[in-house]
Amino acid sequence: MSLALALLQPRVYYASVFTGKMLAMYARSLPAPTRSFFLFGPRGTGKSTWLRQRLPDAAWFDLLRMPLVMELTRRPETFRNRVEALPKGSWVVIDEVQRMPALLDEVHAILAEHGTRYRFALSGSSARKLRRLDVNLLAGRALTRQFFPLTAAELDFDFTLDDLLATGCLPMVRSAPRQAIDVLDAYVGTYLREEIQQEALTKDLGAFTRFLEVAALCNGQVVNIAGIARDAGIARPTVARFFEVLVDTLIGFWLPAWRPRARIKEVVQPKFYLFDSGVARGLGGRLREPLEAAERGPLLETLVLHELRAERNRKNLGGEFSYWRTHSGAEIDFVWERGAARVGIEVKASKQWRREYGAELVMLREEKQLTSAFAVYGGSERLVDRGIHVLPFAEFARELGEGNVLRRAPKRG
């Protein structure tokens, strides 16, 4: 069976692709918590493989298996009976927990009754059902972690930038680069268009497909929902709901605007980003087209933001990401803020760094609005421009992993 055909069959997909040798080659850097935790991430990022590697002796409840779901539905007490038969200190994994949100009530009851006797790892690729049903999120008894596609460090920096921009960082894509287009076609066609369409609670697959194509064009852009509704021929409330579905299923997310200077007219609408550059190109129908200059900028931003979010999660750094833009067009792509620390990051796909690219970073540093400034560009040399560390993508990823980018502001005095 080809990899593309395997991807179209969910059980074969999980059994033969994600738990096979292909993904075993990647050492994921996220440390496993020592107490119960939620693990959320888009489909295809390798959550199940990571859980099996980190918790090899765990009792496993795979809610993608319909016989198990049917058994737990008919006899809910089966879950508690199986857990309480385990020895003290055992881990219990519930994979795709959003498929049976009611199990969280049982997990909560077990934790309340037995304390730390049992530890739970609860993975999911959608928070939509959990929020919609206002389910029990264990009242703080479990940590929350996120899972992402592969980072530059997890790829051992063995890549070309153009390849990452064109096909992204999903493990199944990087495991089979010669089949990347087929794999992404299958991923977009089966998981995004069909499963998210089901999450959207609509039978109008045509409208959702048109929306996904337009949403791909919005990657890295300030979103005008009314304009998208008009372009896609879909009602505005429906478009707003479709965006909500993408965010809830972790395929996309909003990057809010940063407003450090109240006296300046700054843009306040959020930007929208998809979680992976290859998925963005797949949704836009561009997988078989060469990279164009116009798409390189948003795709590089997508890649850089992926690295930033993954690093924040890996080290549990906290803080918030945003972007800054004025109505006159001045812009900084990303700002990370935590306490007194405010790190500005500008992204340019150009292979040559120009002095004007750093103008906004310099201005806000001089105004003491930023504590440090970085730039990522498409060139190959490390540069310093008026205090801005200008780095090729791979060098930026190295510095980020070494803790030299997202860091606290220096103490005064």
- Residue 329's pLDDT band (cuts 50, 70, 90): confident
* 276 and 384 part of one domain: yes
Task: Identify each DSSP E strand in 130-232 by its residue range.
Answer: 143-146, 221-222
**What pLDDT does 199 receive?**
63
**Do 128 and 204 have their domain in common?**
no
CATH code of the domain containing 92: 3.40.50.300
Residue-level pLDDT at 14: 32
Residue 280's pLDDT band (boundaries 50, 70, 90)?
very high
pTM of this prediction exceeds 0.85: yes
Residue 181 inside a domain? The answer is yes
Tokens 């049903």 sit on residue: 133
15-61 pLDDT, tens digit each: 334 334 444 578 899 999 999 999 999 989 999 999 999 999 999 99
Instruction: State residue 233's pLDDT score.
Output: 83
Indicate whether 171 and 96 sit together in one domain. no
Q: Percent of the chain beyond pLDDT 90?
A: 66
pLDDT-based confidence at residue 228 (cuts at 50, 70, 90): confident
Record the tokens describing residue 397, joined without a space. Answer: 């990823």
Tell me if 22 is assigned to some domain. no
**Do 308 and 401 touch, CB atoms closer than 8 A?**
no
* Greater model confidence, 251 or 194: 251
Can you count the helices (H) and strands (E) in the chain?
A: 19, 14
Instruction: For residue 354, give the nearest of 323, 393, 385, 397 by alpha carbon.
Output: 385
Identify the CA nearest to 95 among candidates 53, 57, 125.
Answer: 125
pLDDT value at position 198?
66
CA distance 38 to 103: 13
Least confidently predicted of 5-14, 65-74, 101-110, 399-408 = 5-14
| pLDDT exceeds cutoff 80 at 6 | no
Same domain, 185 and 311: yes
Least confident of 195-209, 251-265, 284-298, 353-367: 195-209
255 and 383 housed in the same domain:
yes
Q: Are residues 70 and 216 in the same domain?
A: no
Burial label for 115, CB within 10 Å (0-12, 13-18, 19+), is: exposed
pLDDT above 60 for 413 = no
Residues facing 347 on adjacent strands: 376
What was the pLDDT predicted at 264? 58
Beta-bridge mates of residue 384 = 389
Please choose, from the candidates 77, 117, 125, the residue with its C-alpha nearest in 3D space to the C-alpha of residue 98: 125
177 and 250 in a single domain? The answer is: yes
C-beta atoms surrounding 348 within 10 Å:
21
Identify whether 5 is part of a domain.
no
Residues in the chain, how many? Answer: 413
pLDDT of 132 reads 55
Which of 146, 181, 215 is the last residue in one of the domains? 146
- Residue 9 pLDDT grade (very low, low, confident, very high; cuts 50, 70, 90): very low
- Determine, yes or no, domain membership for 10: no
Within-domain flag for 317: yes
Q: How far from the centroid of its chain's Cα atoms is residue 111's Cα?
A: 29
Contact 66, 33 (CB under 8 A): no
Question: How many folded domains does the chain comprise?
Answer: 2
CA-CA distances (angstroms) from residue 382 to 306, 375, 385, 394?
21, 10, 10, 11
Between residues 220 and 128, the one the model is more confident about: 220
* pLDDT of 129 above 70: no
| CB contact burial 324-338 (16+ within 10 A = b; e otherwise) | bbeeeeeebbbbbbb
Domain of 236, in residue numbers: 161-401
Shared-domain flag, residues 214 and 277: yes
pLDDT at residue number 206? 77
Evaluate whether residue 410 is within a structural domain: no
Q: Which of 146, 176, 199 delimits the end of a domain?
A: 146
Do residues 51 and 132 both lie within one domain?
A: yes
Asked whether residue 19 is domain-assigned, the answer is no
Residues 210 and 354 in one domain: yes
Which residue has better confidence, 234 or 184? Answer: 184
Percent of the chain, pLDDT > 70? Answer: 85
Q: How far apart are CA 228 and CA 246, in angstroms?
A: 15
Q: What is the pLDDT of residue 20?
A: 42
Q: Do 174 and 309 sit in the same domain of this protein?
A: yes
Joined together, the tokens standing for residue 80 give 């508690």
pLDDT number for residue 318: 94
- The overall average pLDDT reported for the chain is 87
Whether residue 338 is contained in a domain is answered as yes
179 and 101, same structural domain? no
